């Protein structure tokens, strides 16, 4: 009997972080590659499939959407959500995409490339499965200071003797020049990198930290190293650090990403 897949983190990700953060970012990235009815779209490092679900509404009728993630829990939970019946879900490695050459008109990857163990190989795979003239869209967070909410959490965590890779790695490819060079070296043309900003809402700093701790694909690995007392201290420090972003409607969380769009 196959082992049961744990989807708890994926469920928390979909519940707490997709609506305010990953959903809007994914829609903006899909809009950047502008899929048309009848086209084929691939969502790489799809998580619970926010980009894939949105793309499916744009390529109908007659289109095709596929999505892949290395995290079995993400794929398992994605398959249970509404409006996903027409999407092809795959658990697999972005460095070895299980599709033939030139299968997709557009490929997107939102907040994934920075985690690839071989970024050039991953970009090369996305180019391989694109049709000639096909479009690539990549979204990557800018450096931590451009994301003040997440930066406040990182600074608070830095006071403790814990592994901070989980909180820092999402911002490790924030240089737009390095991103553009990566795509050009892979053979892409018409490469354009644009900085985009998103403002999201959380009830409070406590709610923001709790959302990261419950469903943050990377941040939770750092936050789960804290005991209750240290978690409370982190929440208090983040609350103070983000006081200027708080108002009667809650807490504004600003994130900034580089969007790269290119053609094969």
Kindly list the domain boundaries of the chain, sorted by start residue: 8-263
Positive or negative, the CA dihedral 27, 32, 33, 34 is: positive
Looking at residue 163, its pLDDT comes to 87
Q: Which two tokens stand for residue 202?
A: 């959380």
Whole-prediction pTM value?
Answer: 0.95
CATH of 8-263, one of 3.20.20.70, 3.40.50.150, 3.30.200.20, 3.40.50.960: 3.40.50.150
Q: How confident is the model at residue 83 (pLDDT cuts 50, 70, 90)?
A: confident
Q: How confident is the model at residue 191 (pLDDT cuts 50, 70, 90)?
A: very high
Query: Residue 3 pLDDT > 80, yes or no?
Result: no
Give, to the nearest 10 degrees, the angle between helix 50-59 and helix 23-33.
Answer: 40
What H or E segment, with its residue span, contains residue 174? none
């Amino acid at each position: 009997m196959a082992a049961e897949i744990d989807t708890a983190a994926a469920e928390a990700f979909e519940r707490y972080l997709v609506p305010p953060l990953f959903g809007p970012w994914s829609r903006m990235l899909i809009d950047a590659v502008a899929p048309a009815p009848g086209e084929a779209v691939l969502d790489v490092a799809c998580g619970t499939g926010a980009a894939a679900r949105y793309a499916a509404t744009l390529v109908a009728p007659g289109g095709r959407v596929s999505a892949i993630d290395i995290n079995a829990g993400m794929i398992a939970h994605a398959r249970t959500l509404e409006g996903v019946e027409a999407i092809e879900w795959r658990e697999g490695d972005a460095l070895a995409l299980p599709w033939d050459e030139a299968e997709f008109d557009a490929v997107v990857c939102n907040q994934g490339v920075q985690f690839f163990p071989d970024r050039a190989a991953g970009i090369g795979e996305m180019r391989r499965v694109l049709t000639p003239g096909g479009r690539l869209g990549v979204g990557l967070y800018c450096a931590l200071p451009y994301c003040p909410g997440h930066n406040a959490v990182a600074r608070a965590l830095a006071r403790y003797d814990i592994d901070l890779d989980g909180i820092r790695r999402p911002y490790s490819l924030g240089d737009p020049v390095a991103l553009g060079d990566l795509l050009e070296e892979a053979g892409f043309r018409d490469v354009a990198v644009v900085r985009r900003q998103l403002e999201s809402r959380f009830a409070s700093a406590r709610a923001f930290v709790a959302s990261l701790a419950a469903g943050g694909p990377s941040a939770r690995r750092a936050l789960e190293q804290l005991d209750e007392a240290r978690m409370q201290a982190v929440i208090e420090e983040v609350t103070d650090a983000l006081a200027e972003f708080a108002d009667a409607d809650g807490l504004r969380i600003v994130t900034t990403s580089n969007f790269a769009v290119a053609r094969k």
